[in-house]
Every structure is written in C-alpha cells, then in structure tokens.
C-alpha cells in the first residue's frame, strides 16, 4: 500500500555521495510503500541524473551540489532535482538514433534516453543560476 511521503536531501557533487543517495532512495521507497520495480527505476533515474550532473555540470576543479526532493502521493512518485552547475535541459536533449548493430552502439550517451523512458511529465527551469528538473516516475506495468 502506497503512503504519502516527502524526503529532501542535498548531496555534495562528489561521486562518493552515490552511496548516500542509494540509502535515501531505499528509505524513501520503504516509507512510501513502493514495490521493487518502482524502487529500482527510481534508483536508476536518480543515479543517472546525479552522475551526469557531477560529471558534466561542474568544472574539473569544482565540487558542486545536487538537491533532491522525492514525493509519493496517491501511488505516484515525483522527483525534483536542482543544482548550481552549467545550464542543461535534459528534456531538450535529443535521443541518439538506435544503432543498427550492437557493435555500432555508443558507449555512454544513452542515460538521458533511459531517464525519459522511465519518467513522464518533465519540466525544466533555470532560475537564479540553478537548474531545476521535475519528473514523475512512470508507474510499473500492471
């Protein structure tokens, strides 16, 4: 049974913070009563977005931050991410064309497409030098 829950965290833009993120997602999922599939998808989306922000959003000598708000209401899950990195709207980034063969498949560059497949209802804003992205996790297939 799903419960209404909100969880907020602010992480250092350090790849080591992934451990903290994973623990927070597990705690949120348990409190919200999410199933294994939703928990997996939520973890995958957040890991991808966090890693992209840390890797590409800040300069090589910068250790930025990533803010995350998770909300569960009526069985739906909404996530909001914010950061102070370079402006980047992942919703405007086109999906790469599918490769004709496995050998032609690129290494990397598919994360944004994966996030799009697992979420819906996205909205991006750039406010006061910060990126703000709101997404809704797609419900698991019935």
Length of the chain, in residues: 142
- Per-residue pLDDT tens digits for 19-70: 999 999 999 999 999 999 999 999 999 999 999 999 899 988 888 999 999 9
**pTM of the entire structure?**
0.87
Asked if residue 81 has pLDDT above 60, the reply is yes
- Supply the pLDDT for residue 111: 77
Domains of the chain: 5-137 (3.30.565.10)
Looking up tokens 């350090």 gives: 14
Asked if residue 80 has pLDDT above 60, the reply is yes
Compute the average pLDDT of residues 124-138: 96
Cα 44 from Cα 108, distance rounded (Å) = 15
Cα 124 from Cα 26, distance rounded (Å) = 26
5-12 β-sheet, strand order: 5-12, 65-73, 76-83, 130-137, 119-127
Asked if residue 93 has pLDDT above 80, the reply is no
Asked if residue 121 has pLDDT above 60, the reply is yes
């Amino acid at each position: 049974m799903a419960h209404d829950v909100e969880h907020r965290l602010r992480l250092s833009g350090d790849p080591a913070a992934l451990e903290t993120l994973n623990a927070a997602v597990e705690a949120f999922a348990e409190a919200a009563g999410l199933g294994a599939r939703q928990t997996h998808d939520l973890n995958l989306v957040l890991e991808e977005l966090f890693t992209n922000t840390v890797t590409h959003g800040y300069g090589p000598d910068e250790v930025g931050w990533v803010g995350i708000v998770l909300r569960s209401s009526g069985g739906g899950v909404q996530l909001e991410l914010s950061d102070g990195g370079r402006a980047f709207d992942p919703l405007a980034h086109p999906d790469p064309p599918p490769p004709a063969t496995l050998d032609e498949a690129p290494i990397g560059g598919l994360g944004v497409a994966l996030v799009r497949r697992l979420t819906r209802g996205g909205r991006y804003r750039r406010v006061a030098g910060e990126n703000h992205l709101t997404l809704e996790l797609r419900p698991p297939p019935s």
